């Protein structure tokens, strides 16, 4: 399949934007080669500028759970845009979206809308610190919470190290109060609380990780997190920017039965428009300005177009309940991928929760960044390009989750499995 136009456009883009992209995950750095320039999406498919069609498993990195250009979402956006794009004043639709989130998500009693997942986690962390009057934030290696300065931290060699910046431009001062621990490591967590407990403002985690590939938190780990934070008066923050309304309508916390103090959202709650949200216990949320003292603001927060897209997406999910179908389709895909990998003797592990899944090119069980990082990423890169050439658009990194949408069909899934078999056999 030809990609000449993509190549020309990307050549120009590289002169205009750093790396030719507005977000690094799109640059195909992890698989080599150039990104495909997309023109439009419809349902489960993307069409590039050269006219090639792809079965899409990125779904804009999560938001498009209903598929691209879903009629209800498109209609809602069209209706909203005719009324004006931004007022900088309260609207009734903000109540509607807030109510939908509060009704769905067990931990959320009050919510604030922002413009991205990054803004949501940044604000939740500030609130945890402002609420507790403490400085230290605990995060876990391999979890991603957006490009928040204080969370762009690399874990040191010791099990529990105070963070060092992992991006130039992030000061040591900014990260010195961030503690990086290993995911699913209960003794490590206990040790950190034993040593720093009275200084820990909050713990932030992906309750099901998507950002090192799909990795599931053990029940023991979640239980320890809830007990230790409660015991030490620290705020437990679930970052559900990816898992919210994805793994279930009520997010990961509705599956695992652990209720955090604060929850962050993004992606699906904006239905493909830029949005984020942070919410939780009213008692904590009321520390946010203008009731409380913790500052947080946004010119475009609660934007009418984003709010309309979010409402249309959440009400469709609530009313049509595609989750059982997503489970079936995703299970079918997972079984097919495992069968394909097994047939060629590829060492692999498949992790899946609902419509989020990852085929790790790694024979070991993947429970943390340590085990995830042992994947054969070179082989994954070849697999990725093999699938692109067969019209299947997978996340362009081993360390990203693949998403199935409600628009996918069994035929799409079977075609993806067949393509995988063909590609893996040739590796």
Ligand X SMILES: *Cc1c(COP(=O)(O)O)cnc(C)c1O
Chain residues that interact with ligand X, rule: CB under 6 A: 116-118, 121, 144-146, 206, 210-211, 239, 241-242, 266, 276
Please, what is the minimum distance in Å from the beta carbon of residue 150 to ligand X? 14
- Which residue in the list 185, 267, 278, 323 is annotated as catalytic? 267
- Which residue in the list 45, 131, 144, 278 is annotated as catalytic? 144
Please, what is the minimum distance in Å from the beta carbon of residue 266 to ligand X? 4
Please, what is the minimum distance in Å from the beta carbon of residue 198 to ligand X? 28
Q: Is position 249 annotated as part of the catalytic site?
A: no
In the complex with ligand X, which residue's Cβ is closer, 206 or 376? 206
In the complex with ligand X, which residue's Cβ is closer, 165 or 270? 270
Please, what is the minimum distance in Å from the beta carbon of residue 174 to ligand X? 18
- Which residue in the list 48, 56, 185, 239 is annotated as catalytic? 239
In the complex with ligand X, which residue's Cβ is closer, 160 or 269? 269
Question: Which residue's C-beta sits nearest to ligand X?
Answer: 117
Q: Is position 144 annotated as part of the catalytic site?
A: yes
Please, what is the minimum distance in Å from the beta carbon of residue 271 to ligand X? 13
In the complex with ligand X, which residue's Cβ is closer, 367 or 420? 367
Q: Is position 267 annotated as part of the catalytic site?
A: yes
In the complex with ligand X, which residue's Cβ is closer, 6 or 263? 263
How many whole angstroms separate alpha carbon 394 and alpha carbon 403? 9
For the annotated catalytic residues, the residue numbers are 144, 239, 267
């Amino acid at each position: 399949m030809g990609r000449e136009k993509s190549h020309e456009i990307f050549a120009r883009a590289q002169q205009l934007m750093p790396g030719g992209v507005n977000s690094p995950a799109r640059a195909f750095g992890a698989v080599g080669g150039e990104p495909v320039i997309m023109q439009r999406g419809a349902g489960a498919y993307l069409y590039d500028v050269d006219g090639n069609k792809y079965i899409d498993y990125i779904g804009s990195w999560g938001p498009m759970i209903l598929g691209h250009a879903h009629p209800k979402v498109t209609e809602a956006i069209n209706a909203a845009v005719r009324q004006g794009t931004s007022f900088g004043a309260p609207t009734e639709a903000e109540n509607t979206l807030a109510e939908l989130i509060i009704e769905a998500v067990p931990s959320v009693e009050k919510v604030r809308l922002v413009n991205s997942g990054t803004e949501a986690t940044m604000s939740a962390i500030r609130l945890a610190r402002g609420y507790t009057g403490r400085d230290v934030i605990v995060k876990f290696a391999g979890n991603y919470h957006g490009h928040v300065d204080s969370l762009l931290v690399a874990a040191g060699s010791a099990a529990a190290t105070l963070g060092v910046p992992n991006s130039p431009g992030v000061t040591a001062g900014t990260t010195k109060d961030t503690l990086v621990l290993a995911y699913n490591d209960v003794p490590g967590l206990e040790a950190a609380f034993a040593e720093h407990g009275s200084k820990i403002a909050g713990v932030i985690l992906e309750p099901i990780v998507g950002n090192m590939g799909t990795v599931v938190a053990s029940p023991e780990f979640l239980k320890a997190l809830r007990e230790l934070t409660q015991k030490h008066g620290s705020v437990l923050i679930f970052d559900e920017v990816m898992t919210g309304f994805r793994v279930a309508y009520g997010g990961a916390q509705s599956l695992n039965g652990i209720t955090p103090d604060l929850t962050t959202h993004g992606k699906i709650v904006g239905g493909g428009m830029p949005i984020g949200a942070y919410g939780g216990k009213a008692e904590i949320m009321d520390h946010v300005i203008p009731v409380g003292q913790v500052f947080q603001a946004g010119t475009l927060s609660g934007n009418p177009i984003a709010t309309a897209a979010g409402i249309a997406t959440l009400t469709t999910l609530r009313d049509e309940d595609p989750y059982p179908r997503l489970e079936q389709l995703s299970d079918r895909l997972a079984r097919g991928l495992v069968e394909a990998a097994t047939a060629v003797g590829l060492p692999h592990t498949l992790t899946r929760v609902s419509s989020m899944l990852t085929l790790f090119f790694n024979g070991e069980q993947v429970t943390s960044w340590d085990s995830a990082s042992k994947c054969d990423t070179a082989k994954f890169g070849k697999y990725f390009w093999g699938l692109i050439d067969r019209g299947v658009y997978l996340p362009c990194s081993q360390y990203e989750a693949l998403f199935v949408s409600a628009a996918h069909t069994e035929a799409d899934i079977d075609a993806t499995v067949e393509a995988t078999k063909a590609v893996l056999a040739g590796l």
